[in-house]
């Protein structure tokens, strides 16, 4: 199982002012605040840690259900410039973060080593609802192509907790997917 | 403060962060900050900080966990105001 989260760096800079009083303290543990303080580019570190938490949260809630807003409970440790670990209630997730000028993107998984998953990242433009539609279309197309199947066999559905699945009509099967979009960027993973 | 008054105050607070105008127009006690109003989760922190300032209360981690919808926000604000 995987979880992912993407942050559009430019959009994040206009949407959030992480320097406002109390912001970092509400979200980040003491250790994470130290990472930010000593980072060469604090902006990047803020969103890197944030995307690590979000991607781990997505797997955790898929596994254990429920919804909550407790960013501090998801505690990050950086292992290298790209890899890290997020722990919540003694459960740990492994993360890989990639950065470009435009975005910061993290994928999380529970296993250290496991089967590869399909990971797709794309740049998109347009309105929020279109963006979502576009991401869904890309997700379906790429999965279908990978499996030599017809696009029409697949559709994205969400359960009552808003957790997405890809539904295969023919097999009547639900495949867990993780979808993320922010600003001009979107990404998804399929196990 | 009545629920209606609290909802009106909350509307002013969440407005800058709302991405779904339709959801905002129809905001009720049942509205979900993320799913209905499409507030991004990083901005939920701003909503919480703005609530703290507006009502002069402290929202602890335990309360923050539940801050996903209008109903929970109202309950938490009411409780915290009662403790003052």
What Å distances lie between residue A27 and A93, A101, B45, CA to CA?
A: 18, 24, 8
Band of residue A82 on the pLDDT scale cut at 50, 70, 90: very high
Beta bridge partners of A4: A107
Q: For residue B1, what pLDDT is reported?
A: 84
Question: Edge-to-edge, what's the strand order for the sheet holding A118-123?
Answer: A118-123, A185-190, A173-182, A164-168, A154-158
**Residues A109-126: what's their mean pLDDT?**
76
Find how far residue A137's CA is from the centre of its chain: 18
Neighbours of A56 (CB within 10 A): 29
Is pLDDT of A114 > 70?
A: no
Beta bridge partners of A51: none
Is pLDDT of A27 > 80?
A: yes
Is pLDDT of B8 > 90?
A: yes
A23 touches chain B (CB under 8 A): yes
A162 chain-B contacts, CB cut-off 8 A: 34-35
Is pLDDT of A126 > 70?
A: no
Q: Are A87 and A98 in contact (CB under 8 A)?
A: no
**pLDDT (tens digit, 9 = 90+) per residue, A136-161?**
888 888 888 888 899 999 999 998 87
Q: Are B43 and B33 in contact (CB under 8 A)?
A: no
Q: For residue A190, what pLDDT is reported?
A: 85
Is pLDDT of A93 > 80?
A: yes
Residue whose token pair is 């127009």: B25
Please, what is the average pLDDT of chain A? 91
Neighbours of A68 (CB within 10 A): 14
Q: For residue A56, what pLDDT is reported?
A: 97
Cβ pair B35:A162 closer than 8 A: yes
**Residues A4-33: what's their mean pLDDT?**
97
Cβ pair B46:A70 closer than 8 A: no
Q: For residue A121, what pLDDT is reported?
A: 84
Q: For residue A139, what pLDDT is reported?
A: 80
Separation CA A121–CA A105 (nearest Å): 9
Q: For residue A113, what pLDDT is reported?
A: 60
Q: For residue A51, what pLDDT is reported?
A: 98
Is pLDDT of A64 > 70?
A: yes
Beta bridge partners of B72: none
CA distance A65 to chain B (A): 14
Q: What is the CA radius of gyration of chain B?
A: 12
Secondary structure of A46-91 as H, E, C letters: HHHHHHHHHHHHHHHHHHHCCCCCCHHHCEEEECCCCEEEEEECCE
- Most confident stretch, A149-153, B34-38, B72-76: B72-76
**pLDDT (tens digit, 9 = 90+) per residue, A65-76?**
889 999 999 999
* Cα–Cα–Cα angle for A173, A177, A180, rounded to 5 degrees: 150
A22 touches chain B (CB under 8 A): yes
**Residue in B closest to A21 by C-alpha:** B49
Q: For residue B45, what pLDDT is reported?
A: 97
Separation CA B14–CA B29 (nearest Å): 13
**Residue in A closest to B39 by C-alpha:** A15
**Residue in A closest to B38 by C-alpha:** A128
Band of residue B40 on the pLDDT scale cut at 50, 70, 90: very high
Is pLDDT of A52 > 70?
A: yes
**Residues A110-128: what's their mean pLDDT?**
74
Q: Are A47 and B22 in contact (CB under 8 A)?
A: no
Q: Are B38 and A181 in contact (CB under 8 A)?
A: no
Separation CA A191–CA A131 (nearest Å): 23
- The complex scores an ipTM of 0.94
Is pLDDT of A53 > 90?
A: yes
A141: tokens are 């197309």
């Amino acid at each position: 199982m995987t979880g992912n989260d993407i942050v559009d760096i430019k959009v994040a800079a206009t949407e959030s002012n992480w320097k406002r009083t109390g912001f970092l303290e509400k979200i980040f543990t003491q250790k994470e605040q130290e990472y930010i303080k000593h980072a060469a580019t604090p902006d990047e570190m803020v969103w890197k840690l944030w995307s690590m938490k979000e991607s781990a949260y997505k797997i955790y809630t898929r596994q254990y259900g429920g919804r909550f807003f407790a960013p501090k409970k998801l505690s990050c440790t950086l292992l290298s410039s790209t890899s890290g670990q997020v722990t919540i209630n003694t459960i740990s997730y492994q993360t890989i973060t990639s950065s470009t000028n435009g975005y910061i993107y993290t994928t999380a998984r529970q296993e250290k080593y496991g089967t590869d998953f399909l990971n797709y990242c794309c740049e998109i433009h347009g309105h929020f609802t279109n963006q979502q539609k576009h991401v869904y279309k890309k997700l379906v197309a790429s999965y279908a192509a990978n499996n030599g199947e017809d696009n029409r066999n697949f559709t994205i559905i969400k359960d009552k907790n808003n957790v997405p699945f890809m539904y295969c009509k023919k097999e009547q099967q639900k495949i867990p997917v993780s979808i993320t979009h922010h600003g001009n960027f979107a990404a998804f993973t399929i196990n | 403060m009545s629920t209606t008054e609290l909802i009106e105050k909350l509307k002013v607070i969440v407005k800058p962060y709302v991405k779904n105008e339709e959801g905002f127009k129809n905001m009720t006690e049942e509205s979900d900050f993320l799913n209905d109003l499409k507030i991004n989760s990083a901005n939920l922190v701003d909503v919480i900080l703005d609530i703290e300032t507006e009502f002069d209360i402290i929202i602890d981690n335990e309360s923050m966990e539940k801050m996903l919808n209008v109903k929970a926000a109202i309950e938490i604000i009411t409780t915290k105001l009662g403790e003052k």
